[in-house]
Amino acid sequence: MTVKLLVTSGRTLTQGRAMEKGKLTSDYENAVAVCELDATAMESLGIENGETITVKTEIGEVVVKAKLNKNLHPGMAFIPCGPYFNFLLDSYTQLTGMPGFKSLPATIDAAPGAKILTIEELIQLMKEGT
């Protein structure tokens, strides 16, 4: 079942440490190719913690790993700031210079066995799109 959610992004401790280590590490990939969901969303999607999902917005879609966050409220999802979230984000800043990092309407589907792109593959995909 498709779930409609508002996705927000921000820092996490894991993402911060991985970022300092290096953006091209698997640590970093694992830290940011993640979407935190609450229990009801996971139930609606019929997935377990750690399974792959597709997150889709008007701009495009990306496969990431679902992560259960019991403290997350229904209706919201969280993807750490980074290239997977930004792949879904439009560039409209309302002339303030600031894109809408904090609330991105998205639809989420279970994607069992789908492949999460590596950082390199993501870059390649964006290159091809130009």
What residues line the site for other proteins (CB under 8 A)?
6, 8, 10-13, 15-17, 20-25, 59-60, 71-73, 76, 78, 81-83, 86-91, 93-103, 119-120, 123, 126-127, 129-130
- Contacts (Cβ under 8 Å, ≥6 apart) of 69: 36, 37, 38, 78
| Distance from C-alpha of 108 to C-alpha of 32, rounded to nearest angstrom | 17
Per-residue tokens: 91 = 């560039």
- 81 vs 114, which CB is nearer to other proteins? 81
- 99 vs 109, which CB is nearer to other proteins? 99
**How far apart are CB 114 and other proteins at their closest, in Å?**
19
Pairing of strands 3-10, 76-80: parallel
